[in-house]
Each structure stands twice: as structure tokens, then as C-alpha cells.
Amino acid sequence: MFPSDIVDDDDNVWGSAQQFAGSVSVGVVQGVVTGHYTGALTVVDDEPVPILSVVQSEETAVEGGFLRWELSLSTPTTGVYVYFTFVKPDGTELDTADVPKSWLNNLGIWPPSTPEPLSSLYSYFYVGFPYGVTTGTVVIPISKDGTAEGDETVMLQTFDFMPNYQPLTLVGTVPQHR
């Protein structure tokens, strides 16, 4: 085993630890010494793990509008996805009739024949942060149905996307419409 530290001063973005496996063969044309070694290399990142934050965790939108949250990472990465799932909020929840069917289809959800609360879909979606990018946006379009209804809420929560992450909760409300 040959432990060695290799420093890359040009690497200033966080990336999760990476492992590589390989083998080295040594042979001699004359003589009796030949050898073969199979080993592994683990690359550990020394940049700080980014912290995910949101400008404003609670948003409001009218029917026909958009719920929009601006996300940011504290440091750049080599690329990361932040996954969100719908969770049941307090009060009346947005359902599948409150968002466009095309938006649900883009999430890989086939809209049910009767409206269902978004949290009952047990689905998730993600926001991608490509190499070096530190901002991203979550957008939920709200359908305009003209039906008189009370305030409706959607709640999103992140789930494990990088080491030592802190869950982030987003809440969106569509105020009463008459």
C-alpha cells in the first residue's frame, strides 16, 4: 500500500467522495520478479459541504400564477440534485386539480381521475445545480379554475441529498378565491 496525499489547488468546488479501482502489473523481460496489484483510490473533497438555503420559505400565489422559491447553495459543487417531496400541510391541501396536468406529467405523474392531495401521490421532483452553479428555482404553476374555495396550501420538504444536510421546508399558499 502506498498512502499519498495529492493536493489540487485548482479544485475549489465541493464534490462527494469518489472511489476508483484499478490494477497495476509489473513485469521484467529478464529475471524472475513479476507482480500484480489491485487497489482502490478514494478521493476525499476538502471543500466545505454546501448549505442549502431559500430566500423566503413561504410564498403566495393566485390562481393562474406560480408559486416560486429561489434556492441557493453556499458554495459551488461539481453538480448536485436537491430532491423535494410533497408533505401534508396544516389546513386544506392543494390537489391534482389545482395544478396543470402537463406539470404533473412532467413529474412522471399520471393525474388521477378524481382530485387527490399532492402529498398522497408519494412523488418527488428535483432541482439540479450543475457544475459551479449556486442558484436554482422551484416553480409550481397554479391552475385557474374559477371555483370558490378557501385557502389551499402545499408543503415541500427536501430529503437527503448530501452529507450532513439540514432538511428545508417550503410552504406555498393559494388564498381564498370567490
On the question of pLDDT at 7 being above 70, the answer is no
How many helices (H) and strands (E) are present in the chain, helices listed first?
1, 10
Angle among Cα 112, 90, 149 to the nearest 5 degrees reads 60
On the question of pLDDT at 35 being above 70, the answer is no
On the question of pLDDT at 19 being above 60, the answer is no
**Residue 16 resides in a domain:** no
Q: pLDDT tens for residues 151-169?
A: 999 999 998 766 667 789 9
Q: What is the CATH number of the domain that holds 145?
A: 2.60.40.2030
On the question of pLDDT at 94 being above 60, the answer is yes
**Residue 37 resides in a domain:** no
**Residues whose CB is less than 8 angstroms from the CB of residue 32 and which lie 6 or more positions away in sequence, other chains included:** none
The total number of structural domains in the chain stands at 1
Domain containing 56 equals 52-174
- For residue 149, the model assigns a pLDDT of 83
Q: pLDDT tens for residues 107-141?
A: 888 888 899 999 999 888 999 999 999 999 999 99
- For residue 13, the model assigns a pLDDT of 75
On the question of pLDDT at 61 being above 70, the answer is yes
pLDDT band (50, 70, 90) for residue 2: low
